Structure 1
Amino acid sequence: MSRAVGYRLVALGVCVVLLSGAFVLAGAGYPAPTSPGPDLAEPDVTPADLAGDHVETGGVVIATDPVIIEVTDGTTTQRLPVENAPDVAVGQDVIVDGTLTTDGTLAADRDRTVVREPWETTYMYAVSVLGALFVALRIADGWRFDPETVAFSPRDTPLHTRYLSEEEASG
């Protein structure tokens, strides 16, 4: 292995360490935003203990008149009536911010309530995966990796051009 390849490997290692350090700094170097209150989806939190407190929680709408959401903490499921809720339909996911009343109803702040359709998360991940595949194919098409020099270099002829030219010549 030549000296230049060794320097490139060391430089690559330093870059990976610096990038990892930047991720740690970004996650730990800044204070976490203040929470608006306890989340009813956390284990060991019961609505009766939080009467009159400001809370935030999320769940699936199971009824609309009155609005009732199903909140799950991973082990238990509870049903929570919501007053002053925005227009929702059964099956939608909601994140509700508001005050818990003494009768166990969540008085929602409409301006801070988020309503999502169940397919939106799947759509977000599908578009992200397609975008990542498109970028990976573009990189593989236009660049090649030389393991001897540990370097990327542009291809003289992109793969798609090479294969299209071969098909036209044989066809």
Structure 2
Amino acid sequence: MATAVGYRMGALGVCVVLLVGLFVLAGAGYPAPPDSGPNLADPDVSPKNFAGEHVETGGEVIATDPVTIEIEDGTSTQRLPVKNAPDVRVGQGIIVDGTLTTDGTLVVNRDRAVVREPWETTYMYAISVLGALFVAVRIFDGWRFDLNEIAFSPRDTPLHTRYLSEEDTDG
């Protein structure tokens, strides 16, 4: 029995080492993406210092004629007019990259802009949490962890069946 546990622990260790090796290999196999320039949402970055340069930033749309976004860097808030912006509405989030002009306007490539509704992030996290809870409940209901074997094994009777059948006989 002890040798079976030892083999399982060894196999688990080999799998973990292989997984880490695959992560390292995947990270080393692809070049880093090209630098897209400074991010105006970083602290202590002023648009005036980057006139004529390629920058990227994101913020909330606060006006549409002309499109103006509000950029927060954690300590201060900047307003930046955007030229050639995609169709947006006030309150939407937008991520853009483009070239800053000397007057502080960002001329963007509208095909590369990402526009998001304010509720999309909340929806994404809520669905992810619900999905994770569903999977956790299904695993807990149908499987048990055997400490002696260091393995998951299916339950003889799922918990929901056991508890539902007890309630049905009482009533």
Question: Do the structures match in fold with TM over 0.5?
Answer: yes
Deviation at 1:29, TM superposition (A): 4.2
Query: What is the identity, as a one-letter code, of the residue corresponding to 1:13?
Result: G
Residue 146 of structure 1, CA deviation: 0.6
State yes or no: 1:83 paired with 2:47: no
Question: SS state of the match for residue 91, structure 2?
Answer: coil
| Residue identity matched to 1:35 | D
Deviation at 1:151, TM superposition (A): 1.1
Question: In structure 1, what residue type is equivalent to 2:100?
Answer: L
Q: Distance in 2 between matches of 1:154 and 1:27?
A: 36
Q: Distance in 2 between matches of 1:31 and 1:71?
A: 30
The equivalent of 1:31 in structure 2 is 31
1:124 CA drift (Å)? 0.5
Match of 2:95 in 1: 95
- What's the CA shift for 1:82? 0.8
Give the aligned partner of residue 12 of structure 1. Answer: 12
Give the RMSD, CA atoms, in angstroms: 1.8
- 2:133: which partner in 1? 133
Deviation digits for residues 63-122 of structure 1 (CA, Å, limit 9, x no counterpart):
222211111222232111112222222221100122211100011211111111111111
- For residue 143 of structure 2, what is the aligned residue in structure 1? 143
Tell me how far apart the structure 2 counterparts of residues 70 and 28 of structure 1 sit (CA, whole Å): 37
Identity in percent: 77
Whole-Å Cα distance in 2 between the matches of residues 78 and 67 of structure 1?
14
TM-score by length of structure 1 reads: 0.89
Question: Which 5+ residue runs of structure 1 have no aligned equivalent?
Answer: none
TM-score normalised by length of structure 2: 0.89
Give the count of matched residue pairs. 171
Change (3 A) 1:121 1:47: same
* Residues in 1 aligned to 2:55 and 2:128: alpha-carbon distance in whole angstroms: 32
- The structure-2 alpha-carbon separation of the partners of 1:62 and 1:130, relative to structure 1 and needing over 3 Å to count, comes to same
> Does residue 86 of structure 2 align to residue 74 of structure 1?
no
Name 1:51's counterpart in structure 2. Answer: 51
SS of the residue corresponding to residue 56 of structure 2 reads strand
Q: Does 1:159 pair with 2:154? A: no
- 4+ runs deviating over 6 angstroms: none
| Unaligned segments of structure 2, at least 5 residues | none
Match of 1:63 in 2: 63
Q: Please report how far the alpha carbon of residue 28 of structure 1 lies from its aligned counterpart in structure 2 after TM superposition.
A: 4.6
